[in-house]
Each structure stands twice: as C-alpha cells, then as structure tokens.
Amino acid sequence: MTDLAFALIRHGDYQQRDNTPSAHQPWPLTTEGQAQAVVGAAHLLDMATMLGLPLNDFWYSSPLARARETAEIMRAELQVTGPLVCCDDLMERGLGSANNLSIDEVEMCLNDLGLFEDTPVDWKANSEFRLPLPGAESLMDAGQRVAQRLLTIAANSENRQTLVPVFGHGAAFRHAAYHLGVLDGKDIRRFSMHHALPVVIAQSADGKWTQRAGEWKERTRQTDFTD
C-alpha cells in the first residue's frame, strides 16, 4: 500500500548558457520548455489517476526560474489553486563562488589558485567531488538536502495518501533518489530526466521508497552532465 508519493519533475528546457553547468543559472524557460510543461501537466494528471491518488493541494518547487515557471504552467493547465511553496533546498547543486561561470572559467580560476592539478577530470559529474571554493557543494550534498526536504514533507500526516508534485533539477533529484534507496549508485550517471515529465517515487507504510511511475531518461552515452 502506498502511503505517500512524490512526482519529481525536472524543469523544462531553458535558456542555459553554453558550456556552463546549470547550477544556479537564473534564466527562464525557452518556448520549447513552456510547451514541455503543458505536456507534462497531462502526464501528471494521468499518473495521479493511475495510482488512485489525488494531487496534493500544496505543490513544491525550487525557486530557480526554470523550475518555478514549469510549476506555474502546469498549475495553470490543471487549474490548481493551492499554494506553490518555493524551497531553497530543492535547488540544483551549487558551485558557490563559481556559480554560473563557464566550465572554462571555473577551470581557469582553479588553475590560477593552484587547485586545478588536484581536480578530477570528471569534476562536473563526479558525485563526491566538491569544488575547493567557498559555498560549493558536491552532487551528493545537493541530493542529501533535496532528500531531507522530501522526508520533511513526507513526515506531515496531512500529505498521506496523496501525490505531491515537486519541481526541481535532474542531478539533484537523481542523487536524492540514491539517498532514498530508489536508485543504485551506478544508475546516477546512467540516467538523466526528461524535461517536465514526472518520475513518481512512493513511500510504503514501512518507510521504504520505490519508483512507481514514469521513466528515467537513459543516456545514449556516458557524458559529463551539466544538469
């Protein structure tokens, strides 16, 4: 029996700067991303019906524009009137003082500081690595804070027997899924997430989390992801 379920929804396509990790980029959705959110709304409603769970009145989102705008479009499509709660701890992995720098700029900075030699080649996708700069997080750090926010929402008894939509970011969601036991470590790099299409994870009465609906996006090749 499902006690509570989350619809994890990655933002739609957005105006991401070239060769730059998503991190905390402030840009809005593209026209394509807006259309993806409209399609995603129909998928969300279908999943709620399939699972026999009503959509929760409270929806949650990262405050970054690409996630918040995706949520707002889907809410308008489904005529949702309850509150949209923006939570800083649902944001993508932060790079601290290197936030929103291009990959070349980050590596130039590390080189100038004498830190590049100790930086792994796959630093962008390395789950455990944290840039040696003030305020930077590892991907595992980001996943842990997202997972903790989900557990906090799940602990509210008023959310039981509902499907709670949560809007955020692919890498942070995948690492959160790992912390909750939904994904194996090897699957974090193997999978991405489709823009604006929900992946539903559910908690049973014994506290175990499992994937119940939706599909992760299988990567065609192993690349350094920037989502």
Mean pLDDT of the chain: 95
Q: How many CB atoms lie within 10 A of CB 58?
A: 17
- State the pLDDT at residue 227: 57
Residue 56: pLDDT band by 50, 70, 90 thresholds?
very high
Place of tokens 């903790």: 148
Q: Does residue 222 surpass a pLDDT of 60?
A: no
Q: Do the beta carbons of residue 20 and residue 103 sit within 8 Å? A: yes
CB 156 within 8 A of CB 49: no
CA atoms of 33 and 35, how far apart (whole Å): 5
> Domain 2-95+138-218: which topology?
Rossmann fold (3.40.50)
> Which pLDDT score is estimated for 97?
97
pLDDT digits (tens, 9 = 90+) for 168-220: 999 999 999 999 999 999 999 999 999 999 999 999 888 899 999 999 999 87
Q: Quick check: helix, strand or coil at residue 134?
A: coil
Please tell me the predicted confidence (pLDDT) of residue 223: 53
pTM value surpassing 0.85: yes
Q: What is the pLDDT of residue 185?
A: 93
H/E element, 146: helix 139-154
**pLDDT tens, position by position, 28-39:** 999 999 999 999
Pair 174, 144: CB distance under 8 Å = no
